[in-house]
Every structure is written in structure tokens, then in C-alpha cells.
Amino acid sequence: MDAIETMTLLYQNGLVGGEWIGADGGETLDVTNPATGETLGTVPAMGASETGRAIAAAEAAFQGWRRRTNAERAGLLMAWYDLMIENAEELALILTLEQGKPLSEARGEIGYGASFVKWFAEEARRIGGGIIPSPTADRRIAVLKEPVGVCGIITPWNFPNAMITRKVAPALAAGCTVVVKPSELTPFSALAMAALAEKAGIPAGVVNVVTGMPAAIGGELTGNAVVRKVSFTGSTRVGALLMEQCAPTIKRLSLELGGNAPFIVFDDADLDKAIEGALISKFRNGGQTCVCANRILVQSGIHDAFVEKLAARVAAMKVGPGTEDGVAIGPMINRAAIDKINRHVDDARSKGAKLATGETALPEGPQYVAPVVLTEATTEMQLAAEETFGPVAPIFRFETEDEAIAIANGTPFGLAAYFFTQDLARSWRVGEALEFGMVGLNTGLISTEVAPFGGVKQSGLGREGAEIGIEEYLETKAFHIGGL
Ligand code: NAD
């Protein structure tokens, strides 16, 4: 607990209209360290009434914020970015303590999260509009880009920092104000970021954070007519529910939902690059990422060599607390996550999958699992149909390119896909045939602020990052000027 006591960014209240407040009734929720099971602290168990006041605060701040020049908003975002970088070490430690990922990965996430703030500070200055040639000589038609308004932002626990900046930075750059509801499992990262936004000089009410009861807060964010947009990252199940709840007030909606990424290795792949790609895409964050390889499809000719190398590397991974040096896999987020992982592995083994590795020694602690490589996986297994969200790499053997594409696309999800080949023609054929919002060829890394991030099919609506990311927070107004 010593590290916690010296922290300056561990805020344990919500932020509404510039005031750090508790829940109306004083109730709190514990926040737990998944590495030890210890309570790190508490946050207010807020509900609909506190959320309603946060929305009112965001509405009150909106006109002032949108009227700032774009350069002023950009300057404040850059001040926020600078503070994130200055405080990166403490932000990373808070993240690891509440979420579990290795500290080196947490540092990476802070850099990734901050990159969105800088990117959208830059983009704020480039929000333009246009002039359309008028059909009659006495008129002019201008196209104005205006902020959508108050936005509700709901984020998951697996990237507690970056999932917030990826939404809040473009919203603020566009001139919107926000009410953020972080995951109840990882609220401290969100509160620390809000404290830095306040320190950076972003005015009261522009960024509000409510913590607590998901359904009550979500009900208010989706039901309140003042909120003009909801941006959600999380499971497809909750995304569908929020979409339904947004329907009566016709809100703009961005949804970044679950995935079921295929990772295809063709016979002509560079084996070492494919192994490195599989390790990063499968085992980063202990396999708890929406873009992580969920089904590893390997062509017959390279299959045995790939399995042997991957199993050797996975068997050598160290499992332990994220704060310990050399740890590759931290604790899973909670018991339910472990139960799902075990269910998937047991189901696969009962249907014929074989364990290539999976007996790594585990430290004491409630939430550790060994990383696993399974061979002889088939499409009948549970792990083929849904994301396992854990360090389990199932290997599916295939013979032909068409077969691999059919298996890869045989899912209602369409977030990320990866494939490894050195054949140019195949690269284009497969890249175009994969029904996913993001495709990595000969790389396991596809997350960067400069490229559009998002999915097709049941993986979501809209894109984050890149130039397109700010459009999600802008309305288009046609301004017809007559009588000239
Ligand atoms: P989740 O859907 O359970 O929770 C996400 C957020 O929604 C949390 O803040 C949670 O408190 C909140 N929530 C839950 N029920 C709610 C309700 N009724 N009303 C309003 N809010 C509610 O997801 P999770 O377990 O936190 O995150 C993991 C999921 O997120 C995985 O499916 C993963 O693939 C997905 N994910 C997607 C992306 C992406 O960019 N597409 C990124 C990260 C995670």
C-alpha cells in the first residue's frame, strides 16, 4: 500500500461541474487490485441523479467551450497532453494497480492514450467547412462544422486510459463537453486524467466524471435528451442495449464492441515474424484486448514448426503481478474472466484440442492463469465462436486460402484480422476478402492514433483516431445565404 499513500493523482470522488463530490447518499464502491485482491480505495456509487447533474453541468459549460477559438481549445488540449507525459509514471502505476497489466505495458498505454490528446489538439485547428457552388447566382451555400453538444462517454476496464482519451480528446477538440462513465473496475485512471485536465486549465463542466452503478448511469446518459451523442467501448451485449436506449431521443452513437480476430499464417510466411506477431497480438494485456488474435489459423505446411516455436515462447512467459520486473502476463481482471477462460479451455479439450503448453508455474494470488497453446482447434468449439479474453492461443489447421478466408469471416464480429504471407498477389486478395474494419499484414500491431480504429458487423459503428475520428463529434450544417 506504500506506493498508494504517496500518490498525488489518486482521486476518490467524482467530478461534476468542477466539484469533486461523493454519491448523494454517501455510498461507495471498492476498487480492488487484481494482483492481490486488496482494496486500493473507493469511489462514489453514483446513480441517475448525480449523472443528471453532471449532464446539466456539461450543458452549462457547452456554449462557452464551443465559442473558444479552435486554437484556444487546441492549446488547452496540449497543456493536458504535457501533464499526462509529465505524470506518465504515476498514471502507469495507477493503471497497473487497478487493472493488472505489466507496468511496461501500462507505460505504453499512457503514451498511446496521450497520443490521441496531441493528435486531436492538432486536428482541432483543422476543423474546416466548405463552400458549395450555388445553383443560382443570388445565393451562396456554406457548409459549417459544429460540435454535436453534450456527449456521454462509457468505457471499459481493459484500456482504462486510452479508451477515454480516444473519445474525450476529439470531443473536446470539436467543441463538445462530456460526461465520462469509466468502468467500475478501473475508475482511478479516469479520475486521475480528469484531475490533470482540470490542472491544464480546461474549464469546469467541460469534463465531468461519474462513477458507480452502470445501469443507472447508463440509463440517464442514454435517456436524457440533453445528451446528443453517446460513445461506448465495451461488449456487444451492452452496446446493443445502449443503442436501444438511445433510440427514443435519436442520439448519435459510436460503438466500439467485441471482436473475434483471426490470425492467419500461410505456408509462405516468414515464421519468425509470424511468431512475434502472434505473441504481441495474442498475449498483450494477458489476451484481454478487443483486437487480440482469438483464432490462430495455420496452413498445414508451416503448422508444426509454428506450434513448436510458439509453444516454447509461451512456456517461457512469466506470470505475476504487473509491478514485478520481467512479468509478461499479469492477473486477469476478475474471477468471472478466469471462469470464462477455463470454460473455453475445458470445452475445447473435451472436443479434441491438445495442450501444446499450459503448465507455467503461477504465483499466489486469486486471479492468475497460465498462458495456453492448444492445437487441433475446430470451429465447433466455444473459443471459435466468442472472444476468450485471456491468454489462450488455439491453433486451427487449414489447407487452402479459400478455406482460411471462410473460417476467418465465419463470425458475426468484424473488428481486427491479421495475416502473414510473403506473396504479393495473395496479400491483396486476402486483405480485400477479410470482412474486418482493421487488417494487419505481416504485423500484429494495428493500434495508432493516426489510423482509423473500429469494426464492421457486430463489432460496432464509427471510427476513432485519424482524421475521421473528429467527424464523430461534429454536425454538418448547410447554411444557405440568399438575396445577393
Ligand atoms: P462491458 O460491456 O461489460 O462494460 C463496458 C462499460 O459499460 C463499463 O463501463 C460498464 O460499467 C458499462 N456498462 C455495463 N452495463 C451497462 C449498462 N447497462 N448501461 C450502461 N453502461 C453499462 O465491457 P467490459 O467487460 O468492460 O470490456 C470488455 C469488452 O469491451 C470486450 O467485449 C472487448 O472486446 C470490448 N472492447 C472493445 C474495444 C473496441 O475498440 N472495439 C476496445 C476495448 C474493449
Q: What are phi and psi of 403, to 5 degrees?
A: -65, -45
Å from CA of 240 to ligand 1 middle: 11
235, 242, 243, 388, best to mutate for ligand 1 pocket (most atoms within 8 Å of CB)? 235
User: In this predicted model, what pLDDT tens digit does every residue of 171-217 receive, in sequence order?
Assistant: 999 999 999 999 999 999 999 999 999 999 999 999 999 999 999 99
Which residues have C-beta within 8 Å of that of residue 125, sequence separation ≥ 6? 70, 71, 74
User: In this predicted model, what pLDDT tens digit does every residue of 318-331 receive, in sequence order?
Assistant: 999 999 999 999 99
Which ligand 1 atom minimizes the distance to the CA of 181? 9
Å from CA of 182 to ligand 1 middle: 9
Residue nearest to atom 30 of ligand 1 (CA): 234
Å from CA of 91 to ligand 1 middle: 21
User: In this predicted model, what pLDDT tens digit does every residue of 133-158 receive, in sequence order?
Assistant: 999 999 999 999 999 999 999 999 99
> Which pLDDT does position 420 carry in this prediction?
98
> Which pLDDT does position 2 carry in this prediction?
63
* pLDDT at 104 > cutoff 60: yes
> Which pLDDT does position 5 carry in this prediction?
77
Q: What are phi and psi of 40, to 5 degrees?
A: -85, -30
> Which pLDDT does position 146 carry in this prediction?
98
**Closest C-alpha among 375, 474, 456 to residue 145:** 474
* pLDDT at 365 > cutoff 90: no
Which residues have C-beta within 8 Å of that of residue 198, sequence separation ≥ 6? 15, 18, 204, 207
388 lines ligand 1 (CB under 6 A): no
User: In this predicted model, what pLDDT tens digit does every residue of 221-230 receive, in sequence order?
Assistant: 999 999 999 9
Residue nearest to atom 22 of ligand 1 (CA): 214
Percent of the chain with pLDDT over 70: 100
420 lines ligand 1 (CB under 6 A): no
Which ligand 1 atom minimizes the distance to the CA of 234? 30
216 lines ligand 1 (CB under 6 A): no
152 lines ligand 1 (CB under 6 A): no
* pLDDT at 162 > cutoff 80: yes
386 lines ligand 1 (CB under 6 A): no
ipTM confidence score: 0.96
Residue nearest to atom 26 of ligand 1 (CA): 156
* pLDDT at 455 > cutoff 60: yes
User: In this predicted model, what pLDDT tens digit does every residue of 205-217 receive, in sequence order?
Assistant: 999 999 999 999 9
Look at the chain and count its residues: 484
Which ligand 1 atom minimizes the distance to the CA of 259? 34
Å from CA of 235 to ligand 1 middle: 4
d(CA 45, CA 42): 9
Contact in structure between 112 and 214 (CB atoms under 8 Å) = no
Å from CA of 387 to ligand 1 middle: 13
Chain centroid to CA 34: how far?
19
d(CA 188, CA 181): 11
> Which pLDDT does position 6 carry in this prediction?
84
375 lines ligand 1 (CB under 6 A): no
183 lines ligand 1 (CB under 6 A): yes
Neighbouring CB atoms inside 10 A of 144's CB total 13
256 lines ligand 1 (CB under 6 A): yes
* pLDDT at 168 > cutoff 80: yes
Catalytic residue positions, numbered? 256
> Which pLDDT does position 4 carry in this prediction?
77
154 lines ligand 1 (CB under 6 A): yes
166, 233, 438, best to mutate for ligand 1 pocket (most atoms within 8 Å of CB)? 233
> Which pLDDT does position 3 carry in this prediction?
74
User: In this predicted model, what pLDDT tens digit does every residue of 35-66 receive, in sequence order?
Assistant: 999 999 999 999 999 999 999 999 999 999 99
**Average pLDDT of the residues of the chain:** 97
Task: Compute the average pLDDT of residues 223-247.
Answer: 98
* pLDDT at 360 > cutoff 90: no
215 lines ligand 1 (CB under 6 A): yes
User: In this predicted model, what pLDDT tens digit does every residue of 271-308 receive, in sequence order?
Assistant: 999 999 999 999 999 999 999 999 999 999 999 999 99
